[in-house]
Amino acid sequence: MSSVTIIGGGVIGTASALALQAEGYAVTLIDPGQIKRAASYGNCSLLAIGEIVPISRPGTLRKVPGWLLDPAGPLHVRPRSLATELPWLVRFLLAGRPARVKQIAAAMTPLLHRAQEDWAAQLSDANLSEALVQSENLIAMNSLADYEADQFAWGLRAEHGFSHRFVPWSELHSMEPCLGGPIMCAVEAKGWLQFSDPSFVLTRLQQLFVARGGELLSDEVTGIETRGRTAVAVTLGGGVRRQVDKLVLAAGAWSGALARALGLRVPVAALWGYHHQVANPSVNVTRPVLYANGGFVLTPLSSGLRIGGTIEIAGKAPKPNFARADMLADKARKVLPGLVTAGGEQWMGPRPFMPDTLPVIAPSPAQDNVVLAFGHGQVGQTLGATTGKLVAELVSGRKPSVDLAPYAPTRF
């Protein structure tokens, strides 16, 4: 039986491990075990069907000065990180040109159109179907003018088959009576659902992987040894060398450094996100609400109400700035009168972003036995099961069921 070693035990690596097990491979999943550091723990728990429009889009460039000056803004660049992160930021801004945004949206479409089906199959296999909650997301706004101002993005989504419905205040209030403050309308994003709790889902999937004979190794991969066009071993913490047959690199925001060991320079950056979560919020939100004007998401998890969002460009290992989590809680109280946020859990973790927000899903151009699967940005939870199936196809040598050219690591 062929064996596969996967670096990274987040949602991408774990979904890939299960898909490879289904193909008959013996799989080892290596992860440092610090789940609370990772995006697979702290994300907003959305199945964001239709999130095909990148963050950088027409009009983004003129907002950059404000991001630098406003530490409470939805996207902030720490001044000390500006010099080191400037090349990535320039590529990010260039990806916001109208023609490129349209290309990116078209490239994201085939992945997101199948995401719900792929997750439904994997969750059913794991006896976890109830973990995908059938409540469609709302994107709340302060006015009809806010909705009309974003017609470029909504038009792109509609063009690619992702539908939505405008919801006036009278209907919105009946759907979510707790919402208030400046919110006056919303969009119901058709097909956008949520997971009951991303940490719960990941833990259960890892338990299934182990129950089916998989090896879950709690360790850090510090290096990859290659010989010609073959990866032959990984180096673990403490210098332990472990031979590999086939290798999958799915280490999220930490993938860039390991990719360099493969001779690849891939511009994947850690963009830091925050959340503030309360177990007993004293208000009842029945579905995820993305507040467009505030730049955050309210997600009712089985473990409490999560207030998540913001993007911070702060380098590779910054100290947490939990004032940003406090800011999320403050903003949430303004649109949820009666919300209690005292004593909440605060989290900071890295989302793995490519400048164009397209993931890397591809065979390594430098090795014949390595597959790359990282850089999913804000849709890693959404695309976990889909990426896992594509990884299994690549490792097995089959023709991928999606054209992977847009996700090549060499596109920059």
Percent of the chain beyond pLDDT 90? 87
**pLDDT band (50, 70, 90) for residue 1:** low
Q: Which two tokens stand for residue 409?
A: 């690591």
Query: Residues 151-158: what's their mean pLDDT?
Result: 96
40-44, 69-73, 129-133, 239-243: least confidently modelled range: 69-73
Alpha-carbon distances of 333 from 187, 211, 218, 241, 338, rounded to whole Å = 21, 43, 39, 51, 7
Q: Residue 105: its pLDDT value, please?
A: 97
Q: Residue 297: its pLDDT value, please?
A: 97
Q: Which two tokens stand for residue 67?
A: 């991001």
**pLDDT band (50, 70, 90) for residue 308:** very high
Answer yes or no: is pLDDT of 256 > 70. Answer: yes
**pLDDT band (50, 70, 90) for residue 71:** confident
Compute the chain's Rg from CA coordinates.
21
Between helices 98-113 and 115-125, what is the axis angle to 10°? 30
Please answer whether residues 142 and 293 qualify as being in contact, where contact means their C-beta atoms are separated by less than 8 angstroms: yes
Long-range Cβ contact pairs of 161-164 (< 8 A, separation 24 or more): 161/109, 161/113, 162/49, 162/50, 162/52, 162/112, 162/189, 162/190, 162/191, 163/190, 163/191, 164/50, 164/139, 164/188, 164/189, 164/190
Query: Residues 60-86: what's their mean pLDDT?
Result: 79
**pLDDT band (50, 70, 90) for residue 92:** very high
Query: Residues 393-399: what's their mean pLDDT?
Result: 97
Q: Residue 137: its pLDDT value, please?
A: 97
- How far is residue 17's CA from residue 205's CA, in Å, rounded to a whole number? 10
* Among the listed residues 159, 218, 157, the one whose alpha carbon sits nearest the alpha carbon of residue 28: 218
Answer yes or no: is pLDDT of 381 > 80. Answer: yes
**pLDDT band (50, 70, 90) for residue 35:** low
Please answer whether residues 312 and 155 qualify as being in contact, where contact means their C-beta atoms are separated by less than 8 angstroms: no
- How far is residue 199's CA from residue 210's CA, in Å, rounded to a whole number? 17
Answer yes or no: is pLDDT of 67 > 90. Answer: no
Q: Residue 36: its pLDDT value, please?
A: 67
First to last CA, the chain: 37
- How far is residue 355's CA from residue 350's CA, in Å, rounded to a whole number? 15
Query: Residues 236-248: what's their mean pLDDT?
Result: 95
What does DSSP say about strands 370-374 and 246-249: parallel, antiparallel, or unpaired? parallel
Give Dmax over CA atoms of the chain in angstroms.
65
**pLDDT band (50, 70, 90) for residue 81:** confident
- How far is residue 314's CA from residue 114's CA, in Å, rounded to a whole number? 33
Q: Which H, E and C letters describe 297-337, residue by residue?
A: EEEEECCEEEEEEEEEECCCCCCCCCHHHHHHHHHHHHHCC
Q: Residue 269: its pLDDT value, please?
A: 94
Q: Residue 58: its pLDDT value, please?
A: 85
- How far is residue 110's CA from residue 383's CA, in Å, rounded to a whole number? 11
Q: Is the pTM of this model over 0.85?
A: yes
Q: Residue 196: its pLDDT value, please?
A: 97
**pLDDT band (50, 70, 90) for residue 307:** very high
